[in-house]
Amino acid sequence: MVENNQRIVPQKAETSVDCGYQVIEDEDGSRIVHLTTHGSKHRASPPKSSQSMQFGRTVAETLVDILCEAFDLTQPNDLGLEPELRAAYLANPQLFRELIAADVEAADVVGLARRRAQVDRFRLLLNDESAFQDEVDALPGRGKEQVWQHFFEQNPWILGASLATQLLTSWDEKRLEQVVAGYSIADVGKRTDALLRTSGRIRSMAFVEFKTHTTDLLSPAVYRSGVWKPSPELSGAVAQAQATVHLASRQIQERLQSKDVEGSDMPGDWTYMLRPRSYVVVGQLGQFVTASGGHHEQKVRSFELFRRELSTPEVVTFDELLAKAEWMVATPPPE
């Protein structure tokens, strides 16, 4: 950062704009703060994302120094460290990282801290429309479902520990989405958003389809007195999941042998396709909470009876996944 010598006048409060922030992780695990400004509330069109800025630790420390000097604040001491230790860390952060990596207990702390940060991000995406739209904009042309595809590819542990009684792991460590029934002149191909398998000595396949957290669970109009039918999006997702599993089972049959990186069979490494589990992750249960905070009992009943009577796929909402993830890292949502 360098000092700006331009002639700048103070902005008036009535022309100010909102600024949202988000903490994300770079590919190397370092944290980045992302700021997004939104157009003035007084514009004719609704406020939307305008300018954005990202900065890492070095720029953040410089910014803290500038703010402390400008407002005569006491310089904060990062992490409560002694000045000498803090200076040593800033002089050689890589050495500190290597020392932490060699400490088993420290590795647990770092791993848990990362998962807590991802749970915070999960909560933000569910509850902050502008933050979610920022991620949509970062994946141009790929749609809202791809935001969740990308998020769960970065955090497969949330799916693996939340959906089933068994631990589920990715079929492919690099990519959740897989083609499970190939294209041919005789049939259509089928792709699943996440292909998983159970853990243990004998493993079974599991399929996951993602919709979005804003997808309606029920149709807006009552179907009969006290009865709401599933929304077209939900019933369509259920039909899609059923067709994907059916075609994959027909093509793969009872079991599939794993391949190594060179494409050779791995003896004894089979994954079974005997009535495989499947899941649709869609919507939020908050759709059944009224403006006064009460529950719309008839809608709750209609939705729960519908999904409980399904043998496959199982329907899970995004907020149910979040609640499980919060429990796993012991970070209850803010009051």
pLDDT digits (tens, 9 = 90+) for 286-307: 999 988 889 999 999 999 999 9
Specify if 287 maps to a domain. Answer: yes
Q: Is the pLDDT of residue 320 over 90?
A: yes
Specify if 293 maps to a domain. Answer: yes
Q: Is the pLDDT of residue 248 over 70?
A: yes
Give the pLDDT mean for 137-166. 81
Q: Is the pLDDT of residue 14 over 50?
A: yes
Number of domains within the chain: 1
In whole numbers, what is the pLDDT of the chain averaged over residues?
A: 76
- pLDDT confidence of residue 233: 95
Residue 323 vs residue 103, higher pLDDT? 323
- Alpha carbon separation from 136 to 132, 150, 201 (Å, rounded): 6, 10, 39
For residue 195, what are the β-bridge partners?
A: 207
Give the pLDDT mean for 34-56. 65
Confidence of residue 73 (pLDDT cuts 50, 70, 90): low
Per the CB < 8 A criterion, the answer to whether 203 and 154 are in contact is: no
- Rounded to two decimals, the pTM is 0.62
Specify if 57 maps to a domain. Answer: no
Specify if 212 maps to a domain. Answer: yes
- pLDDT confidence of residue 87: 72
Per the CB < 8 A criterion, the answer to whether 199 and 168 are in contact is: yes
Query: Exposed, middle or buried, 79 (CB in 10 Å: 0-12/13-18/19+)?
Result: exposed
Specify if 82 maps to a domain. Answer: no
Q: Is the pLDDT of residue 70 over 80?
A: no
Confidence of residue 317 (pLDDT cuts 50, 70, 90): very high
Specify if 13 maps to a domain. Answer: no
Give the pLDDT mean for 195-210. 81
Residue 33 vs residue 221, higher pLDDT? 221
**CA–CA separation, 90 and 60 (whole Å):** 13
- pLDDT confidence of residue 252: 78
H or E stretch at 25:
strand 19-25
Residue 101 vs residue 131, higher pLDDT? 131
Specify if 325 maps to a domain. Answer: yes
Q: Beta strands 49-55 and 168-170: pairing type?
A: unpaired
Q: Which of 74-83, 143-152, 189-198 has the highest mean pLDDT?
A: 143-152
**CA–CA separation, 66 and 61 (whole Å):** 9
Specify if 221 maps to a domain. Answer: yes
- pLDDT confidence of residue 229: 95
> DSSP 3-state assignment of 22?
strand
Per residue in 214-239, pLDDT tens? 999 999 999 999 999 999 999 999 99
- pLDDT confidence of residue 81: 53
Cβ-count burial 269-296 (b if 16+ within 10 Å, e if not): eebbbeebbbbbbbbbbebbeeeeeeee
Determine the structural domain holding residue 194 and report its residue range. Answer: 144-335
- Alpha carbon separation from 186 to 142, 181, 182, 190, 324 (Å, rounded): 29, 12, 10, 13, 42
- pLDDT confidence of residue 184: 40
Share of the chain above pLDDT 70, in %: 65
